[in-house]
Amino acid sequence: MPHKTRWLSTKEVRSWRAATRVTRYLFQAMESQLQREAGLSFVEYHTLAMLSEQPDHTMRMSRLADLTNASLSRLSHLVTRLERRRFVRRASDPANGRFTNAILTDEGYEKLVAAAPAHVTQVRELILDEFTAEEIQQIGEFAERLLNRIGAPLSTTE
Amino acid sequence: MPHKTRWLSTKEVRSWRAATRVTRYLFQAMESQLQREAGLSFVEYHTLAMLSEQPDHTMRMSRLADLTNASLSRLSHLVTRLERRRFVRRASDPANGRFTNAILTDEGYEKLVAAAPAHVTQVRELILDEFTAEEIQQIGEFAERLLNRIGAPLSTTE
DNA sequence: CAAGATTGATCTGTCAATCTTC
DNA sequence: GAAGATTGACAGATCAATCTTG
């Protein structure tokens, strides 16, 4: 019941606020640029992107949900919308009927290819260009340490 | 029209993915912990927190929107909900009728005080405890550089 | 019955339109 | 008329309940 809370020091608060503020700000910037220029949300874009990296442009819903940081429910709704727009289609896994595969259509692939340059350019201008290669490396290490601590799977490629 | 896109290197992609993944993961973790244990969203919590730091527990809507990274519209809806729950009330600024002040109620303050220890503890356990003081400092500097680059206001205290 | 996935109800955010005060 | 703020309509996310297959 006691559990004395270890409050944050002034320096910690400062770092913490800057970090939360900037991450939220950057997400919003990317969201609205993608939305404006491609009519895709950040998650939608990454859903297409993850699929495009698979040799057969196919991935199981549950894995896709994990990689895009979305709940299965959220992904399911989202894929339904992407299906309506013909960017993705579903097919249940012939090997195991419990699994559903999401499959990138040609149209979806074209959409991604059209959207990518502007997005990547924004990421460079907004973020990467601020840092040296070593700093980018450093940031990646910090992020990976946190992912390990949390127990989140790291890699994209299985 | 050309604008050759400077695509990301393998290392850059790796850092970038880890960073986006971890930030989204952490936000979700904080969201759901706050929601579960206090019935507050992350923005709601920080809205109360920002108000509590003002001597008179009062702040203009537009400033509050800025500090919580919300649009004015979003904040307005949000404050309406917080008002219904009696955590905040509104009053138009006597000095300038265009301004609306959001004011933390006693009930709202108690809510915040009740929610804070668990939240702060989670922030430590999830994130801060992974890093040395120097690293936390370093992360703060990275974040502030980005905020400057973007042109976002930095400080909380005016 | 457990894992994978979907659905529907509800809540929250966004965008455009509007209102108010200076 | 412009800045600050609010509103309503719609799009999207969350949560709990449900369906389906192994």
The answer to whether residue A96 scores a pLDDT higher than 90 is yes
Q: Is the CB of A79 under 7 A from strand C?
A: yes
Which residue lies nearest D14, CA-to-C1' measured?
Answer: A74
Residue A35's nearest nucleotide, by CA–C1', is C14
Q: Do B25 and A147 touch (CB under 8 A)?
A: yes
Distance CA B114, CA B109 (A): 9
Q: Contact B58/B118 with Cβ under 8 angstroms?
A: no
Q: Please give the backbone phi and psi of residue B127, each rounded to the nearest 5 degrees, phi first.
A: -130, -65
Q: Which of B132, B125, B112, B139 is nearest to B26 (CA)?
A: B125
Residue A150's pLDDT is what?
Answer: 87
Confidence of residue A11 (pLDDT cuts 50, 70, 90): very high
Q: How far apart are CA A151 and CA B119, in angstroms?
A: 20
Please state the separation of Cα A141 from the chain's center in Å.
Answer: 18
CA distance B87 to A78: 34
If you average pLDDT over residues A126-139, what whole number do you get? 97
Could you give the CA distance from residue B93 to residue B61 in angstroms, rounded to a whole number? 10
Q: Which nucleotides of C are covered by protein (CB under 7 A)?
A: 3-8, 12-17, 20-22
The verdict on A92 touching B (C-beta cutoff 8 Å) is no
Residue of A nearest to B67 (CA): A21
Nearest Cα of chain B lies from the Cα of A139 at a distance, in angstroms, of 7
Residue at minimal CA–C1' distance from C21?
Answer: B98
Which pLDDT score is estimated for B154?
Answer: 56
Given a cut of 90, whether residue B151 has pLDDT beyond it is no
Distances (CA, A) of B158 to A114, B12, B153: 42, 36, 9
B75-78 LR contacts (CB < 8 Å, sep 24+): B75/B47, B78/B43, B78/B44, B78/B47
This prediction's pTM: 0.92
| CA distances, B87 to each of B40, B73, B92 (Å) | 11, 19, 17
Min Cα–Cα distance to chain B from A94, Å: 31
pLDDT tens profile B51-61? 999 999 999 99
**pLDDT surpassing 80 at residue B86:** yes
pLDDT digit string (tens) for A31-73?
999 999 999 999 999 999 999 999 999 999 999 999 999 999 9
Amino acid at A58: T
Cα angle B4-A123-A115, degrees, rounded to a multiple of 5:
60
pLDDT of the residue at B157: 38
Q: Is the pLDDT of residue A153 over 70?
A: no
A91 lies within 8 A of chain B by CB: no
